[in-house]
Amino acid sequence: MDPLPSEVLEDPRYTVPHCPEAEHGIGWLRGRVPRFSEGAEHTRRRAVLERTLAGLDVRPGAGGQPPAALLAAMGLSRELVGEVAAAAAAYQPHTSDRELTAAADDAVERLVVACGDRSERTAMLICILVQAHAGLTAVAEQRRSGRTGPPIPVTRRVAPDGREVLVDLSEAPFGRGAHACPGEQLAAVLAATESPQR
C-alpha cells in the first residue's frame, strides 16, 4: 500500500497507535509517553516533555554516540548509550521481534534504575533519549548510504477504519501537527556534532 500524504498528520481522525499501560519495560515506556497518546493526555504529556527538554543543558560536542550529549545533560552515564539503543530498537509498538522486545524490556528497567525512580519525569527522560536516538541514527545511516530524502521515510497512524497506515514524511521530515518533533532544533545541532553509532 502506498503511504498517505503528510496532511494526514493534521487530521484528528488518524491517530497514533494506542499503547495500553504496562507495569514495566518497553510497555511501561510506551504507555507513558506523548508519542503514543492522543487528546488531552497527549497535550498534558507533551507540555511535560517540552518543559523537561527545555530544562536540559545540552552541550553539543560532548561527543560520542547519539545521544551521548543528552545523557550527559541528564546527569546519566554515557555508558547507557547501549541501553538507549536497545530501548529504541523496540520502541515502536509494531515491533514483533521477541528478542529485541526482551532486550528493550531489560534496557528500560536499567534506565529506570539509573534515573532513580519510576516517575513521569523518568518516562519523559527515556522518551527524549529514545526518540533522539531514533532520529540521529536515521540521519547517520542516511549519511553513510548516501540516500536522499527524509531520514525517517514514513511514520504510522491508525485510520478511521482501524487499519494501520503508513504516512509519507518526504514533505515533513520532522512530522507535522500535534505530534511533530519537539527536538528539531536540537537535532540539527546534535547531528552535526555526534558521531554515528556502529
Q: How far is CA 171 from the centre of its chain?
A: 20
| Short-list 22, 44, 42, CA closest to 31 | 22
By CB under 6 A, residue 93 contacts ligand HEM: no
Taking CB under 6 A as the criterion, the residue among 49, 69, 112, 125 binding ligand HEM is 49
Taking CB under 6 A as the criterion, the residue among 25, 27, 93, 151 binding ligand HEM is 151
| Short-list 133, 119, 152, CA closest to 69 | 133
| Short-list 33, 51, 60, CA closest to 68 | 60
By CB under 6 A, residue 173 contacts ligand HEM: yes
Taking CB under 6 A as the criterion, the residue among 25, 27, 93, 182 binding ligand HEM is 182
Least gap, CB of 65 to ligand HEM (angstroms): 13
Taking CB under 6 A as the criterion, the residue among 6, 122, 131, 197 binding ligand HEM is 131
Binding to ligand HEM by CB under 6 A, coded x per residue (else -) over 26-45, reads --------xx----------
Taking CB under 6 A as the criterion, the residue among 27, 135, 168, 194 binding ligand HEM is 135
Burial status of residue 160 (CB atoms within 10 A of its CB: 0-12, 13-18, 19 or more)? exposed
What are the cell numbers at 93? 509498538
What are the cell numbers at 23? 507495569
Nearer to ligand HEM, 86 or 169 (CB): 169
Please answer whether residues 104 and 26 qualify as being in contact, where contact means their C-beta atoms are separated by less than 8 angstroms.
Answer: yes
The full 3-state SS of 111-153, as one line of letters, equals HHHHHCCCCHHHHHHHHHHHHHHHHHHHHHHHHHHCCCCCCCC
By CB under 6 A, residue 183 contacts ligand HEM: yes
Taking CB under 6 A as the criterion, the residue among 64, 154, 181, 196 binding ligand HEM is 181
Where on the chain is the footprint of ligand HEM (CB under 6 A)? 9, 34-35, 46, 49, 53, 127-128, 131-132, 135-136, 138-139, 151-152, 155, 169, 173-175, 179-183, 186-187, 190-191
